[in-house]
Amino acid sequence: MEEEYIKAAKAIKQADYLVAFTGAGISAECGIPTFRGKDGLWTKFKPEEIATYQAFIRNPEFVWQWYIMRMEKLKDTKPSEAHKILAEWEKKGILKTVITQNVDELHQKAGSKNVIELHGNIWRIKCIYCDNKKRLKKLPKSMPRCDKCGNIMRPDVVWFGEALDPLILQLAFDEGLKSDVMIVIGTSGVVYPAGHIPVRAKTMGAFIIEINPEESAITPVADVYLAEKASVAMKKLKNLLSSL
């Protein structure tokens, strides 16, 4: 195992274009449940009852209550050590970009600037009718209404069955293809098209480092697989880097 860490640290040290690709697992240590895995959100709720456009239209108040509950929790949540190390690496010029599937904004809270949010952001809302977009200044108490047309506002996140913003997706693929080393943290890798990004990077010659306590759909393409929690593995890599 130690050897694998050294291999990963050396790859990071020598990287010309290091990119991080993150999923819900990097926020798990902050107390934000993942979707899959043993304490995952979907063990408590069915996805089709909450995270689809159809479910929202059927019962927007219910879906909003669920989102408000998540926002309440998130507002006081602090980024993990793993988020912080990624931000530190960006500042030092070691890391170029974070591509995330998370909607929680914890990368930015940790100080990361160059973040591509593939699945939106829970703190943004948009009108289902006129596409009016807003950033929430404070937590809504109930379902917000559009100040332009009066229609229902929804969270500006990508739900199941919805397409990703093509420009953001293109940007993420471009960054992925530019990377010669990609560090993949806390994702099951089964949500597409996001999950294709590390696989595509690998086919273009990138060295893939994966951090996840459980094997994922990315593990078969990983050059180094670190079976550890995000913060534990990142702290180890950070220490190793400073000794290389």
From the list 132, 73, 96, 70, the residue with the least C-alpha distance to 18 is 96
Binding letters toward Zn ion, positions 44-73, x by CB under 5 A: ------------------------------
* Interface pattern 193-212 for ligand NAD (x via CB under 6 A): ------------------xx
Q: Which of 127, 184, 191, 234 binds ligand NAD (CB under 6 A)?
A: 191
Is 151 in a helix, a strand, or coil? coil
Cβ-based neighbours of 61, under 8 Å, separated by 6 or more: 142, 143
Residue number with CB closer to Zn ion (132 or 219):
132
Letter for the amino acid at 26?
I
| Parallel/antiparallel/unpaired status of strands 153-157 and 120-127 | antiparallel
Nearer to ligand NAD, 30 or 146 (CB): 30
Which of these, 201, 200, 230, lies nearest to 214 by C-alpha position?
230
Are 22 and 101 in contact, with CB atoms under 8 Å apart? yes
Residue choice 18, 64, 216, 221 for contact with ligand NAD (CB under 6 A): 216
C-beta of residue 182 within 8 angstroms of C-beta of residue 211: no
- Distances in Å between the alpha carbon of 79 and those of 34, 59, 146? 15, 32, 31
Counting contacts by CB under 6 A, is residue 101 touching ligand NAD?
yes
User: Which residue number, 57 or 130, has a Cβ lying nearer to Zn ion?
Assistant: 130
Asked if 102 is part of the footprint of ligand NAD (rule: CB under 6 A), the reply reads yes
Q: Quick check: 29 binds ligand NAD (CB under 6 A)?
A: yes
Tokens of 207: 């060295």
Task: Summarize the chain as % helix, strand, coil (round to 5).
Answer: 40, 20, 40
Q: Catalytic: 119?
A: yes
**What part of residues 151-170 is at the interface with Zn ion (CB under 5 A)?**
151
Structure tokens at 10: 């050396």
Contact code string over 120-139 relative to Zn ion, x by CB under 5 A = -------x-xx-x-------
- Kindly indicate which of the ranges 100-108, 129-137, 166-174, 176-184 contains the residues binding ligand NAD, using the contact rule CB under 6 A: 100-108
Minimum separation from the CB atom of position 224 to Zn ion (A): 48
CB of 149 to ligand NAD, least distance (A): 28
Q: List contacts with Zn ion (CB under 5 A).
A: 127, 129-130, 132, 146, 148-149, 151
